Amino acid sequence: MSESNSHNAPDALNAGRLRANRQLDEQAVWTRFRAGDQRAFEDLMTTHYRTLFRYGNRFSADPEFIKDSIQDLFLYLWERRVSLHPEVSVKPYLLVSLRRQMHRKKTGKLVNESLTDETEPGFQVEFSVEEQFIEDEAAVRRAEQLKKLLNTLPARQKEVVYLRFFQELSRDEIAGVMSITPQTVSNLLQLAFRQLRNSQGIELLLPLLWLVSTCW
Amino acid sequence: MRDYTHYSSNDFFWDASFRQWVLAPTRESDAFWQQWLAQHSQKQSVISQARSLVLAVGVRELPLSDDDMQQAVRKASLRSQQPLENPSSETPIRPLPVYRQTWFQLAASVLLVLGGYWLWATQYQPTPTTLTDRLTYQHQVADQPVKLVETVNNTLNTMPVRLSDGSLVMLRPQARISYAAQLSGPRREVYLSGEAFFEVQKDPSKPFLIYANGLVTKVLGTSFLIRANPADKDVTVEVKTGRVAVFAQSDPERNQKITDRELSGVVLLPNQKIIYAREAVRLTKSLVENPVMVAPPSARSAFVFDETPLPRVFDALEKAYSVDIVYDESLFANCPLTATLTDQPLFEKLDIICRVSQVQYAVLDGQIIIQGQGCKP
């Protein structure tokens, strides 16, 4: 009989363990990066490239611009590696920095200029339905309905739902990226689900709330 | 322990473990879910519905191949090892006075030659009569009654240019655009040579038009890429988000296509691309015969409604005007509309719909919001 719990979905416990391991590794790479290890530069960039690219896509639809910005970001950090904070939550830090970088480039501001007086551009995400994965009309309608509901969520709820379910960020990472507290992240998710539930007129089960508040 | 036995397909959709199994299964997760399915065979159809929901409902992401990614990392790594140059994002580069840069010296001599030819070609030759020549960037810009602003990208990177309406043009190296400093007037017009990526601010009342080597691209608010290099035989348009319409500048119906509130011509959807052969336009007929540019059925017949449920009406409006209409589908699903709305502009169409169906609309953040009591079946 294998060790793994055959009754439990292999997620909560394992995911927690995996995440802890990943964080240790990330810290190690970050330390080496700050120390000027060329290999760490490549590791860091490779590890986070796709996440950064997808996040950058929320602020621009131009792939070349997104790639340029990611490159500029890493070169900028590399140049300042000595003055980088030794202990940061790497992923949120990179995501926020990319967002700032792209905004500055678009508005022509210099990196050191303060952004305090500006509202940054909206986070844009549009949910869509790929019909080739659906076989019957009823399912298409259901998918379209879900998509419509998701697209009409208020901006911040939409952002949290996207980052949690479609980018698989943890609650803390989302808090870091959006500059809000982890509790606010949970609250926004709950609001989103309440709205989805009411609009659909379907009772989403209580286990869903459990999912939202405790599993991470 | 989570009890999945009473989960609906929507519940599975939001479950992290289920999503992971559908999108990126591991041996472990696959074993778990296959076993669960075997033990709960009555949930087979719910599971398969949920599975297709997870696969189908998502966010359209830009593609990025592993190769592209590795190349990008390698390139950045190499750049990081070069001796400290002025980073493009930090202190503004103070360029050497232009006459001292070697590229200028070289380009100057080349330019002289080219310039000479150009002068000769226009001054000492009869004025160019080919359509293609008349539709080049230089000629188009020179023909404009108003003096236009020109921005040229002589750097090695993409250069962002913000227009007075808030639209953003990402000029690729060597590209250039000309535009009126204030985009006032009934239309927003831009002339392009080279390659650029456009993010156009939504403004259904003022279509955005780009003239590039004989192709006209018309948008209401969207993002897309145009490649119109002077030396190329083709012009390419690739759409990332939204919808654009393209038609030949020499198209006899072009004035109507330009001024119409609707999009007519060949309408491109996201991820679609069109290649327009410049020379072929000499024969208007061959353009129409080109299979890529099949003319869509006239948008006009789409606005005759007979007991049509409102959601279908709103859908038709969304498609034709490239606007988002937000409404409660279940509330209006049973509201039929009988009306002919072909000749009115968008907001008059909406006014009529509202009077007849007793709803109100408001425009908010570039979207049209519909409110009302709905209809009981």
* Neighboring chain A residues of B2 at a CB cutoff of 8 Å: 8-9, 207
Chain B environment of A7 (Cβ under 8 Å): 1
What pLDDT is stored for residue B287 in this prediction? Answer: 19
Report helix, strand or coil for A4: coil
Please judge whether A71 and B75 are an interchain contact, meaning their C-beta atoms are less than 8 angstroms apart.
Answer: yes
More confident residue, B84 or B251: B251
Contact B228, B244 (CB under 8 A): no
Q: What is the pLDDT of residues B291-338, one digit of tens each?
A: 121 223 344 455 788 888 898 888 887 766 656 688 888 888 888 888
Q: What is the pLDDT of residue A94?
A: 95
Q: Among all residues of chain B, which has the CA nearest to that of A44?
A: B73
Give Cβ neighbours of residue B140 (< 8 Å, ≥ 6 apart): B191, B211
pLDDT tens-digit map of B196-247: 988 888 777 788 899 988 888 888 667 777 778 888 877 777 766 666 777 7
Inter-chain touch A207–B223, beta carbons under 8 Å: no
- Its ipTM equals 0.79
Digit-coded pLDDT (tens) for A173-185: 999 999 899 999 9
If you average pLDDT over residues A159-187, what whole number do you get?
A: 90
Domain boundaries, chain A: 21-107, 131-214
User: Among B5-14, B69-78, B261-270, B277-286, which is the least confidently predicted range?
Assistant: B277-286
- pLDDT higher for A198 or B371? B371
pLDDT above 60 for A207: no
pLDDT, residue B128, reads 45
Closest chain A residue to B7, measured at CA:
A205
In 10 A of CB A114, how many CB atoms? Answer: 7
What pLDDT score does B247 carry?
A: 75
Q: What is the pLDDT of residue B220?
A: 65
pLDDT tens figures, A31-78:
999 999 999 999 999 999 999 999 999 988 889 999 999 999 999 999
Share of chain A above pLDDT 70, in %: 75
Look up the CATH number of domain A131-214. Answer: 1.10.10.10
Share of chain B above pLDDT 90, in %: 11
Nearest CA in chain B to A158: B59
Write out the two tokens for A158. Answer: 């939409």
Residues of chain B neighbouring A65 (CB-CB closer than 8 A): 158, 160, 170, 197
CA distance A204 to chain B (A): 6
Partner B, chain A 65-124, Cβ-Cβ below 8 Å: 65-68, 70-72, 74-76, 78-79, 101, 104-108, 110-112
B93: pLDDT strictly greater than 90: no
Model confidence band, residue B139 (pLDDT cutoffs 50, 70, 90): confident
Average pLDDT, chain B: 73
Q: State the pLDDT confidence band at B344, using cuts at 50, 70 and 90.
A: low
Report CA-CA distances (Å) from B130 to A13, B68, B133, B135, B287. Answer: 72, 41, 5, 9, 16
Q: For chain B, say whether A170 makes contact (Cβ under 8 Å).
A: no
CB pairs under 8 A between A and B: 189
Residue of A nearest to B81 (CA): A38
CATH topology of domain A21-107: Rna Polymerase Sigma Factor; Chain: A (1.10.1740)
> Which residue's entry shows tokens 């199994």?
B21
Q: What is the pLDDT of residue A70?
A: 96
pLDDT for B295: 21
Distance from CA of B97 to the nearest CA of A (A): 22
The answer, yes or no, to whether residue B109 has pLDDT greater than 60, is no
Residue B361's pLDDT band (cuts 50, 70, 90): confident
Tell me the per-residue pLDDT of B159-205, one tens digit each, with 9 for 90 and over: 888 888 888 898 998 999 999 888 888 889 999 999 998 888 877 77
Q: Does A46 touch chain B (CB under 8 A)?
A: yes
CA-to-CA distance for B14 and A8, rounded, in angstroms? 17
Overall average pLDDT of the B66-80 stretch: 92
CB contact under 8 A, B240 and A62: yes
Nearest to A62 among B15, B32, B197 (CB): B197
Query: Which sign does the torsion angle of CA A13, A17, A20, A22 carry?
Result: negative
Q: Which residue of A has its CA nearest to B225?
A: A62
Residues of B within 8 A of A215 (CB-CB) are 16
pLDDT band at A143 (very low <50, low <70, confident <90, very high): confident
User: Taking 90 as the threshold, does the pLDDT of residue A134 lie above it?
Assistant: no
Predicted confidence at residue B104, as pLDDT, reads 37
State how far the Cα of B211 lies from the Cα of B194, in Å rounded to an integer.
Answer: 12
Residue B91 has pLDDT above 80, yes or no: no
Residue of B nearest to A63 (CA): B62
A163 pLDDT higher than 80: yes
* Confidence (pLDDT) at A26: 84
Report pLDDT for B294: 20
How close, in Å, is residue A61 to chain B by CA atoms? 6
User: A2 to chain B, minimum CA–CA distance in Å?
Assistant: 11
Helix residue ranges per DSSP H, B211-283? 254-259
Residues of A in contact with B3 (CB under 8 A): 207
Strongest mean pLDDT among A115-129, B37-51, B202-216, B360-374: B37-51
User: Which structure tokens are listed for A144?
Assistant: 């379209």
Q: Quote the CA–CA distance of B212 and B246 in Å, as a whole number.
A: 11
A130 touching B, CB under 8 A?
Answer: yes
Q: Which one of B15, B87, B240 has the shortest CB-CB distance to A61?
A: B240
Please report residues of A whose CB lies closer than 8 A to that of B65.
none
What pLDDT is attached to residue B142?
82
Please name the amino acid found at residue A138. Answer: A
Residue B214: its pLDDT value, please? Answer: 81
Determine whether the interchain pair A129/B28 forms a contact, defined as Cβ–Cβ distance below 8 Å: no
| pLDDT at residue B102, as a whole number | 39
> Looking at this protein, which amino acid is placed at residue B217?
T
| CA pair distance A107, A142, nearest whole angstrom | 40
pLDDT tier for residue B103 given thresholds of 50, 70 and 90: very low
- pLDDT of A140 strictly over 50: yes
